[in-house]
Structures are given as C-alpha cells and as structure tokens.
Chains A and B, each alone.
Chain A
C-alpha cells in the first residue's frame, strides 16, 4: 500500500512538474529550478549515476518540491551517508511523509552502531561543494538541517526496535495456538488452523464492541463456529464448538498465568547496558457490564494485530485508511475498498474506546481529572476529530452510493452496497461519540457544584485519594505492602476470635443452605509434593558403574570389578553385575543408532564367581570394551571389530 501511495504521489508530482515547466530560463523561479532538478535527479538515479542524482536531489530538496526529501534521504541511506540522510529524513517526516519515519529509524540505528560520534567529517562527499548544474539561481548556503538535531540518541532509535518487538510479541499467542493444538484432548486438531480461528474471533469481538458493551462468550462461539465447521465439515458440531471455545479461552489466556500474556524483551538503555523488560498485554479481556454480566472486549493490542498497523498512532492511521479508501473508490477497486472500510471502522471503534476511558474518569471524580487543561483540550480534539471524520465519511458515502447506483455489474453493485452499510455504521458510531462528548462538560459543572462549593471544612482530615492511594500506587510493591497492612489493620475494626459454643455450633449446623454466591471461591492451586525416588540405583551409582566398566583396551574379570565396587556400597556390585550380564549379548544395533563409539562385551570365564557378593551368583565373566564401526561406511558384514 505504501508503495502504491508513493508511486501515485511521485507520478502526480511528475505530471505537475511537466505542466508547470516554462522554457525561458530568465523567468525561472527557484521553485521551477528545483522541480527541474528533481526530475533530473530522478533520471540520473534511474540511470545509476548516483552522484549526479544526489546533487540534483539536494537542490530540489532544499525547495522541498515533491517527494524530493524522501528520494534524497532514501538515496543517501543507500549510499550509506546516514548523517545527512537523517537530517533530510527528519525534514521529510516533518513535511508529513510517513515513510520517512522508517528512514529516520534506519539512520539512527546505523549511526548508533557504526558511528558513535556525530559523523560529519566521516563522509567527505557530504562536505564537497554542491555545484548545481548549468543554471545557478539564489541558493541558501547552509544546509537547512540544523546541526545536532535528533542525532545521537540511540534510545530513541531503539524505540522503533522496541515497538516492533512488542508488535511481534502480540502475535506470539496466535502462533502458539497452532503449536499447542495437540493439547486439545480427544480431538485430532491437525485439520484446524487455530491462528485463523483466533483472528476470526478477534474480528467478531471487535465488530461487536460498542461504547458500553462488548459481546458475551456464547455469542462469540456461535458466530465463530460456522467458520470452524468450514475447516472440518466432516466433524461434529460439538467438536467445532469446543475448538472455538478452546481458542477463545487461549486468547483470554485462562489459566494459572493470570489472564495476561507476558513477554520479555531487551533493549540497550541510555547508558549502553542491555536491560530486560517485561511487556504485559492482553488480547481479549473480560469486562463487567452495567448489570454485572461479563462481556468480552478486544484490547488495543489485539486491534493493532488485527488491523495490521502495528503500534501506530490512532489518528494518523485512521486518516491513512480513509485516504486509501477514497483512492480505491475513485479507481473502482471496490473489493479492496471494502477491506479498507472495515479497517476504518476498527479504527473508529478503537478511538471510541479511548474516549470512553477518559469520559468515565471525568464522570467519577472531578478532582482526579485535570479540568483546567487536559480535559478541555481532549474534548476539543475529540470533537474536531468527530467532525472531520463525519465530513470525510459523508463524502465517501455519497461517492459509493453513486458508484452503487451507476454500476451495471451486479457483483460490483453488491460490494458497493456492503460498503455503504459499513460507512453508515461508522457514521453512526461517530454520532454516538459526539453526543457523549457534548454532555461531558455539564457533568463537570454539576459535580463541581456538589463537591467544591459546599461550605468550609470542619476539621483537618486527609485526602485519602490524593495523599494515600495515589502515592501508594506509585511505590514499588515491596514497599507499599507495609503501609497498606497498617491501613487495613486499623480500618477494619476489631476481629473477635472465634469461640466455639454448643448452641452456636448447633444453630450453625441447622442453618439453611445459603444461596450459591455469585463469586466463586479462591482457585486452589494444589501444592504438589515431588515424586519420591523409588529407584534402587541412584545417579551416583550409575556414574560409578559406568566409570568402573569403562575398560578401554584392557580385559578384566567381573570378580575383581565387583570387589572394587563393593568398596562403595552394597548396591553398586549388583548394578555392575547386571550391566555385565547385559554385555553378554551386547545391543550393537542400539549402540550404532545412538552413536556410541564403544560397547561393553562379556564372555564366560569358565569358573564360578566369588560367592562373597550378595545377589550375584553364576559364572564369572571376562569383560572388555570394543569399538563400534559403522558397517555401512566400512566393510559390509563386519559390524563389530574386536579391538582388544
């Protein structure tokens, strides 16, 4: 999409340049000169003459014509002149080229890694006098970029990296679904594409989200089950539903993890050391509705994953989505337009969510909200936003309606009609938002009357919220516990210890069963004892037995080994004897498979073993080890070659 936009913009600029260019050079304004330079630069770039292109583009960029800033910084990055590129890219960013953000990040990363100092001297080409071709018009002598602007802060360069890492982390739960689908008991889950189902669930939850409510679990399952069914039509409906519920629960992250996904990532901090941070996020969270019912809502992170614009500014992304929509409709590509319209709607929902939070806070407590600056500004911004969006969307609506009515193709007509529905829905949501915004100020005034102008204080008392709750929330967990303990102890009165008395016990036992509480009891995570070790031989035994039997080239009889083993304890001789007995018929195939290079061999010695060892009787054995030779690589047939 970015490439498309960019090429369109370039093309438009090109057309503009051609139309505006006037032949007589005497009348040429710096602007025209710059456009010419831009065109020349572009040609030179295509032809591969990079130096010429650079010179031309610098001239053009100084006047800021077209996308010269972007072209120039791109070219500079390609020729690895990052310092200059950064300056131009920052300018381009300020001009509103969102592609420049990426370039800025690249330059900063490159500078942070390869040039610890600000490298003005390191690229001599940058210092070379810039000789504009043929025509010399008044030029500014200095590069417009002020020295030192924005360079050197590796932290901010890493911010791009951090944001991408976080965005990546948001997708991890989706990938893990497919990895762990075998954990679904008694279901062959191989046919299901869990990540797709998850995306579908997030879609459904996001679409159903309103300002007040979300969607209940069952409804989500109902809506997603047909999609699951289409993946495996031959399976039963209960299984489809179970799969849908499983994916939903995984997205909520039900389990001992605490319904939050944790991701550890690292970054280089300001003083150059690598620091690990944890990033907590949720994809779908459960919220309580007005009547106490539990709804599902998609979080910002989930919406970002879904829309695909990872961690971007809400407002600008929305503007971008709408510009794209306009373009698409003008070009008649309605299928793409439908997707873009849906994205615009997700953005709208996301924006509404943000405003809902702020308005809620305003309604509850006047004092904790900054009504002097923050809130009025926020309300103004939000109203302006709604106004702008309504205008844009009405214009779009008119256009599509015309497209719908004017089109002959029934498929086209249908898609246009769908689009009309979506845009109507967007407008409806904006209107809803607007009415909320308008009532906010009166809420404030009423609350102010009630709270602030109700007579002088009677005696000294603390402001519990501002002087206790807020400072406590700012403390680290370990420090905050003690004051909270004190508060709890003193604010909860006395707790008479239970004294059992027979009448009390009887009345307690005879009490009718209470209604089931709406709150479930604590989830008890059982404390699991480690499994006791019932093995006769410990790891130490095995290690010693292996050491004893590592004979190398020499031949040894079992009796002498057993005597050595008996020095350790009574169990070791038994283990040695067992292993020796196994060596009577060595598992050569297994040794080859496991890649062992030696194998233990035993042959009968012809005399009985010393009967002093309990549990070991029979013939004595002669033991040695033999080298295992890979039969395929060596002569076929001889698997084993005696080395001793």
Chain B
C-alpha cells in the first residue's frame, strides 16, 4: 500500500493558512512568496489550494505578489463574520436594526471614500486614503443632500411617528451625534465618528487597511487585498441585492460611465 504524497497538500494548506493571517505579505515572507509563485505557475497546485479552501468554507478570490492569497468566507462558514455579531452591543434604546445599519453604513462609506471613482476601484495600483473625519463628513453631506431633496419633493418630510420602521436610513444617520464626550473626557463610541473609527481599526486588524502617520492622526491607506474584496465581491453582491429590492441605482453621469453589474 503506497502512502499518498501529502507534501503538496501540506503546501497548499499552508498557503490557505497564510491567507487567514491578514497581516502576512509575500514581500515580507520568502515561504509565502514561493507559494504564491507556485500557485501562479502550477495549475495542479492551484486546484488543490482551491479545493482545500473550498472545503474549509473559503473562496480564493485572487493570488498576487502584492496581496498574497485573498480569501473570502462562504456563507455559513466558520470564518464568516456577520454584522449582527459586529454590532452586538448592550443597547436597547434604538431598534437593533438601526445599530446594524449605522455600522454597515460606516463600512460602506469607508470603501466609498477609499475608492471615490470607479476608475480608482478598477486600478490595481491605486492606493486610497481615508480618515475618520472625511468618512463621516461625506456621509453627512450625502444625508444633507437627500434631506434637501426630500424637503423639496414633499410637503412634510418629517418621518411619521406611527411607522418608525419606515424611517429612511439617511435620517437615522443624520440624527445620530457625530461626536460626544464622555464624563472622563473621552470619545463616545456611540457617535458616528466612533463607529467609523471602529470600522477603520477593525479593518486594520484584518490587514485590509494600514494606519499611516502618527497614531492620533487616524489616517489610513488601503491595501490591495481590501480593493480586491470590495471590487470583486462586496460591491457586486450588495449591488445585486439593491437591484433585487427594485432600487435602480443611477448611473454616475459624465464621460466615465462604467458598466454596472457583469452578471446582468
């Protein structure tokens, strides 16, 4: 009885394992770099990496020298994190939906500000820069424009007191304070800036963003892993859900209109 050659499998699993450690980069790790090279050149190896990832509930999005292996969790896998867990906080004053919504908006806004134009999202060389302040300001400005439009379109744009669940998302964001100080002169994490700050740090922990400058600056730059995640998966899936909801997002206008969803 011959024992199967497991060394290839071990190598493939090692590559998947490296992908789970967000902060590892091929440029800083010789083993990692060799594995990435092998993935790019050896189709059999690439197939076994994909199979192992698939078995673990992961999908290989891309493998490049810059980003290393970029993995995404499949629905229901052990590596998945849902917004319910992320936003879980002992708080009962608002409906839980609102908390989830605000955290979700913070994450989406970070992406939107990291890649302000479709071109930036498409360009592999592009490095976006974000800060807590700019993210919050952009969302607030968008909310303000939506408010202006709502005021223009209807006689009374105030939300109905009888159907609070129909409140628009922008209003929930606008209502939340942007900063607040606690009794011990620190920032309140319930504020929108507190949420954006948490989102940014959380992405840094996962190796999707990198902090720049001094610690107090709260400025960050994107990594190519984050770009791949946003471009290939997150934006497309969210967009598809929007289409399913019957919301047809407007085209961007101007000469740089980009085809929307490749699935359609």
* Chain A residues close to B by CB (< 8 Å): 155-156, 159, 162, 217, 252, 254, 256-260, 264, 267, 269-270, 275-280, 282, 285-288, 292, 294, 357, 360-361, 364-365, 367-368, 451-452, 454-455, 457-497, 516-527
Taking a contact as CB atoms under 8 Å apart, the answer to whether B234 and A471 are in contact is no
Instruction: Please count how many residues in chain B sit with their CB below 8 Å of the partner chain's CB atoms.
Output: 125
Q: Do the beta carbons of A458 and B112 come within 8 Å of each other? A: no
- The answer for the CA separation of A27 and B176 in the assembled complex, in Å, is 70
Residue B203 at the chain A interface, CB threshold 8 Å: yes
Bound complex: CA A490 to CA B72 (Å): 7
Out of B91, B165, B237, which one reaches A478, CB within 8 Å? Answer: B165
- Within the complex, which residue of B83, B172, B206, B262 is in contact with A477, where a contact is CB–CB below 8 Å? B172
In the assembled complex, 28 residue pairs joining A and B whose CB atoms fall closer than 8 Å, in A order, are A217-B181, A258-B176, A259-B180, A275-B156, A277-B161, A285-B177, A286-B179, A288-B179, A357-B141, A357-B144, A461-B119, A461-B235, A464-B111, A469-B105, A480-B101, A487-B234, A489-B234, A490-B234, A491-B230, A493-B71, A494-B19, A494-B20, A494-B72, A495-B73, A496-B79, A519-B198, A520-B184, A523-B189
- Report if B41 contacts A (CB, 8 A): no
Closest 5 CB pairs of A and B: A484-B104, A491-B234, A276-B161, A464-B112, A490-B234
Closest A-chain residue to B230, C-beta based?
A491
Say yes or no for B258: interface residue by CB 8 A criterion.
yes
**B155:A494 contact, CB within 8 angstroms:** no
CB distance from A17 to the nearest CB of B (A): 42
Using a Cβ cutoff of 8 Å, how many contacts connect chains A and B? 357
Which residues does chain A contribute within 8 Å of B91, judged by CB atoms? 522-525
Neighbouring A residues of B3 by C-beta, 8 Å: none
Write out, one digit per residue, whether chain B residues 85-101 have a CB within 8 A of any chain A CB (1) or not (0). Answer: 01001111111011011
Given contacts A461-B258, A523-B188, contact A484 B105 (CB under 8 A): yes
B160 within 8 A of A: yes
A165→B133 CA distance, assembly (Å): 35
**Apart from A286-B179, A451-B117, A476-B168, what are 19 other A-B pairs with CB-CB below 8 Å?**
A159-B155, A162-B156, A277-B156, A280-B171, A365-B116, A457-B122, A462-B236, A464-B230, A465-B116, A465-B138, A465-B142, A468-B238, A469-B142, A472-B108, A484-B83, A490-B237, A490-B238, A496-B79, A523-B189
Q: CA of A579 to CA of B131 in the docked complex: distance in angstroms?
A: 72
Q: Which residues of A contact B139 (CB under 8 A)?
A: 469, 473
**Which one of A457, A517, A524 has the highest number of Cβ atoms from chain B below 10 Å of its Cβ?**
A457
Of chain B, the residue at the smallest CB distance from A479 is B245
Q: A523 to B94, alpha carbons, bound, how many Å?
A: 13
Q: Is B28 an interface residue (CB 8 A)?
A: no
Partner of B20, one of A257, A267, A496, A520: A496
Q: With A277-B156, A458-B122, A468-B235 in contact, is A525–B92 under 8 Å at CB?
A: yes
A611 CB to closest chain B CB (Å) equals 54
CA of A256 to CA of B133, assembled, Å = 24
Assess whether B194 is interfacial by the CB under 8 Å rule. Answer: yes
B26 CB contacts on chain A under 8 angstroms: none
- B220 CB within 8 Å of chain A: no
Q: Which of B105, B133, B190, B250 contacts A288 (CB 8 A)?
A: B133
Contact A467 B83, CB 8 Å, known A294-B181, A483-B238, A520-B187: no
- With both beta carbons as reference points, the residue of chain B lying nearest to A496 in the complex is identified as B20
Cross-chain contact A364 with B137 (CB below 8 angstroms): yes
Contact present for B142 and A494 (CB under 8 Å): no
Residue B212 at the chain A interface, CB threshold 8 Å: no
Report if A474-B187 is in contact (Cβ < 8 Å); known contacts: A468-B249, A487-B104, A495-B81. Answer: no
Whole-angstrom distance between the alpha carbons of A267 and B72 in the complex? 50
In the complex, residue of chain A having the shortest beta-carbon distance to the beta carbon of B245: A479
- B237 with A462: CB separation less than 8 A: no
| CA A421 to CA B156, docked complex, whole Å | 42
- B143 within 8 A of partner (CB): yes
B104 near A488 (CB under 8 angstroms)?
A: yes
Q: Provide the bound-state CA to CA distance between A476 and B150, in Å.
A: 13
Residue in A closest to B193 when the chains form the complex, CB atoms: A288
One of A258, A292, A452 near B177 (C-beta < 8 A): A258
The reply on B15 being an interface residue by CB < 8 A is no
Minimal beta-carbon separation of B28 from chain A (angstroms): 18
Q: Are B161 and A260 in contact (CB under 8 A)?
A: no
Collect the chain B residues with CB atoms within 8 Å of residue A270's CB.
155
CB distance from A365 to the nearest CB of B (A): 6
State whether B177 touches A286 (Cβ < 8 A). Answer: yes
Measured between alpha carbons, how far is A475 from B186 in the docked complex, in Å?
Answer: 33
| B79, A497: Cβ atoms closer than 8 Å | yes
Query: Chain B CB within 10 Å — which of A277, A519, A521 has the most?
Result: A519
Q: Report A-chain residues with C-beta under 8 Å of the C-beta of B94.
A: 258
Asked whether, in the complex, the Cβ of B186 is within 8 Å of the Cβ of A258, the reply is: no
Partner of A483, one of B71, B229, B245: B245
**Complex-state Cα separation, A282 to B191, whole angstroms:** 15
Instruction: Check A486 against B134 for contact (C-beta < 8 Å).
Output: no
Q: Which residues of B contact A454 (CB under 8 A)?
A: 119
The residues of A that contact B6 with a CB separation of less than 8 Å are none
User: How far apart are A524's CB and chain B's nearest CB, in angstroms?
Assistant: 5
Would you give the shortest CB distance from A317 to chain B, in whole angstroms?
19
A522 to B86, CA, bound (A): 13
Within the assembled complex, what's the spacing in Å between the Cα atoms of A159 and B158? 12
The interface bits of chain B over 174-215 (1 if a CB of A lies within 8 angstroms of the residue's CB, else 0) are 011111111010111110011001100011001110000000
Q: Which single member of B79, B92, B104 contacts A495 (CB below 8 Å)? A: B79
Q: Which of B83, B119, B188, B258 contacts A485 (CB 8 A)?
A: B83
**One of A367, A475, A519 near B187 (C-beta < 8 A):** A519
Q: Are A519 and B97 in contact (CB under 8 A)?
A: no
